[in-house]
């Protein structure tokens, strides 16, 4: 099964690595990563670990993965062709009650990666960020099922 790109948090355990991510119905998932070979067959998880280490990714890094699913249900694996780090987003911080928003120029709701609205707001307030501050965050932007732009932040510059 082909998938164009997947994103989540990279986790290493011994000679294996996994992607922690959300399913289409917003449940936390953990998928074993293997390396995609040049002939589009699947290699091993230790080969995927080596790929991430070559590229300087650490445990807990937020990554975009280009690859394809291999294996059967209930535990398919994701064969990794390529991986890149989460992008930087810049804008103006807006606190709206328990929510944090980023204006860039559209308004985007901020979540803590694999967390929620409240943990994102707490993270930003603990960093000393104030309403109206210009901020830079790394994270992955998605759209909620109800059409709301969401930025799952991984880190805040200067925090």
Sorted by where each starts, the structural domains of the chain and their CATH numbers stand as 2-85 (2.40.50.140), 88-156 (2.40.50)
Q: Within 10 Å of residue 5's Cβ, how many Cβ atoms? A: 11
SS3 95: strand
Is the pLDDT at 33 greater than 80, yes or no?
yes
Residue 155's pLDDT band (cuts 50, 70, 90): confident
Residue 143's pLDDT band (cuts 50, 70, 90): confident
Query: What distances in angstroms separate CA 156 from CA 39, 54, 141, one per listed residue?
Result: 39, 25, 15
Is the pLDDT at 86 greater than 90, yes or no?
no
Look at residue 73 in the predicted model and tell me its pLDDT: 73
Q: Are 59 and 101 in contact (CB under 8 A)?
A: no
Over residues 48-67, the mean pLDDT reads 91
């Amino acid at each position: 099964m082909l998938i164009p790109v997947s994103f989540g948090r990279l986790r290493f355990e011994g000679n294996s690595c996994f992607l922690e991510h959300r399913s289409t119905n917003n449940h936390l998932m953990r998928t074993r990563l293997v390396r995609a070979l040049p002939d589009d067959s699947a290699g091993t998880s230790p080969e995927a670990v080596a790929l991430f280490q070559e590229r300087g990714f650490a445990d807990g890094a937020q990554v975009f993965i280009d690859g394809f699913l291999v294996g059967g249900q209930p535990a398919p694996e994701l064969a990794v062709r390529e991986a890149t780090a989460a992008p930087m987003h810049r804008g103006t911080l807006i606190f709206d009650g328990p929510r944090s928003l980023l204006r860039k120029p559209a308004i985007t709701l901020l979540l803590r990666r694999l967390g929620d609205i409240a943990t994102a707001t707490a993270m930003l307030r603990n960093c000393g960020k104030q309403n109206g501050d210009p901020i830079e965050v790394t994270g992955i932007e998605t759209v909620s099922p109800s059409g709301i732009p969401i930025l799952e932040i991984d880190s805040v510059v200067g925090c």
